[in-house]
Chains A and B, each alone.
Chain A
Amino acid sequence: MLILTRKLGESITIGDDIRITFLEAKGKQVRIGIEAPPHIAVHREEIYQLIREQNIKAAKGDTIEKDTLPDVLEGLKNLLLKDQ
């Protein structure tokens, strides 16, 4: 990990397109400004990890047998459409 010390108001650039500015510090919290092109995802680390893990769990084909999944989905469909 690259470790730098900056003063409030100062910035760091990453590559050609990303700039991070340290705006304000209050107690244990830091307010950070991020400038990045739209195709670069910027997330709070812990949320990113949770979503990543959930996606991986969701894609795991081996959690449900190929044959029973259609039945499972059929049962769920009835549950959902009941409310409509």
Chain B
Amino acid sequence: MNIATSRFGQIDVDESKIIDMRGGILGFEHLKKYILHMQDEKNPFWWFQSLDDGKVAFVVINPFIAKHDYEPVIDDNDRKLLEIENAEHVVLLAIVTILQNPFSVSVNLRAPIVVNAEKKIAKQVVLEDQTYAIRYYLTTAGSGDEAFTARDN
């Protein structure tokens, strides 16, 4: 199937790869179908593109790359909703916010998108654990040409 997107123009979608968001992404509850799009094999930043609205796409990243000791607890309700039978089928995606003026990049570790990769269903899960930041910065404040360091905020 073909879909028109703002960022990538027309893209060809493999229907077997379509992910069904149960409950949608907060603020975008009306959008249910997404595709995970990798621009370049070596780049850990991927795109979570809405198929219902070509203008909506999120930069996402495997949160473990941003924080090596990330240990989110997914509760039973969510496991049931996502029909998780095997932990190996679970893929986590953290939404990345990239802003200009000043330039900053943060990763939402408090509300990851939890994907059952086998059944192709997903949900944005809000973790109970308050230690994980909604904005985990990959850049230091006021950075432009300065070296980036990862830190919590």
Q: Which residues of A contact B (CB under 8 A)?
A: 38-39, 41, 43, 47-48, 50-59, 61, 63-64, 66, 69-70, 72-74, 76-77, 79-81, 83
Contact = CB atoms under 8 A, between A and B. Distances in A.
Interface of B: 6-7, 22-23, 25-28, 39, 42-45, 55-59, 61, 65-66, 68, 77-78, 80-81, 95-100, 105, 108, 110-111, 124, 126, 134-135, 138, 148
Contacts, number: 94
Contacts of B78: 38
A58 B95 contact: yes
Q: Main SS of the interface on chain B?
A: loop
Contacts of A48: 26, 126
Contact of B44 (A51, A70, A77): A77
Contacts of A57: 97, 99
A55 B25 contact: yes
Contacts of B23: 39, 41
Given A70-B39, A73-B59, A58 B96 contact: yes
Nearest to B106: A54
A3 to B, nearest CB: 27
A53 B42 CA distance: 30
Nearest to A69: B98
B28 A80 contact: no
Contact of B7 (A52, A63, A66, A80): A66
B81 A55 contact: no
Given A59-B58, A76-B138, A51 B80 contact: no
